Structure 1
């Protein structure tokens, strides 16, 4: 006889009595179930790291780090399908900017456009928010790192982690991360933190790493043998 008092729990367009959009919060919870993803900027560039999980020995896990433009890379942390949609959207925004303005898109502008696109899915009935946080790193005048929220906000970070055990990793960043790190030191630090945060063994087969250097301004993915070198260094420092 009475209306369902928890209707705001299922409807994206209805605020709860305390001013929350619960579907957005549920989408944020989905990002915490994904394997760990890390982004950080240092004096020499940007480092993106993602942990891959093998669901079956017969299947190759999907990639998590993507090239958006020559000078920008991104990690989609959350639902894989949602992430693919947003990565393609980011690539289109980058190409539109080159076509219309004749220059590369800035990292901040890309983050803003993706955030605005995500926000549209929080205010219309029949839609749902993207269950993904996008870590966007690149070089403009200097290193830049942004994170987009399922609710449509975007934030500028020096270092940030999304996914399983990310609260622990972000606390580690607050205590020991230094933006004065060189790019090499930053990679070592990211690998060490990732290995320490995972309950299962992490090696070069389970890591993706990409960098954007301030000198070359080019997105580059590290090869498996390069990643293995950093994994061995991290193991040595643990000993």
Structure 2
């Protein structure tokens, strides 16, 4: 995206009917590390991927505590999200810069567990399961495929589903570890808890190994290509 005369203020519309500052904030969310939220009848779970700029830098926290029953996970600009978790009035002023952070909010209330997604475009959605951030479409595909299983899951199984969905966003050869994963849980008679580092180990130990994608062998140049109407070997 390039700067132009219509992106100096959040109240200025372009001739195409777009608000560029909101689009910039939405793009920041798409570039952020992936986070997954899902719920059952009794619990709500957040699973987030933590990034570090280098091996000598500590991984940034991606799940934040709001109160005893609510927590948020972040995709986008971490500094903006930290401000959102502490202040309310600035988020209600339409003339301010849109915060470049997307949030998944998990908690437990009178109506049971819940997952909400909030966007820099001022929209929010009540979700059964959701993923935001970079490569989040791969996680959403997993969530959609297993949606019918979530409601009857206990806490441990629900966390495993979240980890599997998050793992789908990783490149080949990389897997989830205690250093790059953070987990948040809430439920009935259960305060919002955040699991980091060694506390994540029990959940990862019960997770099956990531299946390896087998590369198709290259076809020799002197052999004719398979016909379109013939089934390919697997």
Count of residue pairs brought into register by the alignment: 204
**1:23-172 matches, cutoff 5 A:** 23-89=21-87, 117-118=90-91, 120=93, 123-124=94-95, 127-141=96-110, 142-172=112-142
Q: Distance in 1 between matches of 2:77 and 2:209?
A: 34
Q: Which one has more relative contact order, counting CA pairs under 8 Å at least 6 apart?
A: 1
Kindly indicate whether the alpha-carbon contact (under 8 Å) linking 2:139 and 2:168 is maintained by their aligned counterparts in 1.
no
Structure 1 residue 86: Cα displacement: 0.4
**1:203-222 matches, cutoff 5 A:** 203-214=177-188, 216-222=189-195
User: What's the TM-score, normalizing by structure 2?
Assistant: 0.79
User: What's the TM-score, normalizing by structure 1?
Assistant: 0.77
Structure number with greater Rg is 2
39-48 vs 165-174, which deviates more?
Answer: 165-174
Q: Which residue of 2 aligns with 1:233?
A: 206
Unpaired runs of 5+ in structure 1? 1-5, 90-113
Deviations 1:102-121 (A, max 9, x none): xxxxxxxxxxxx5x85352x
Q: Distance in 1 between matches of 2:168 and 2:131?
A: 14
Kindly indicate whether the alpha-carbon contact (under 8 Å) linking 2:34 and 2:132 is maintained by their aligned counterparts in 1.
yes
Deviations 1:127-166 (A, max 9, x none): 4210001111101020011111102221111111111111
Q: Which has more helix, going by share of residues?
A: 1
Structure 1 residue 232: Cα displacement: 3.2
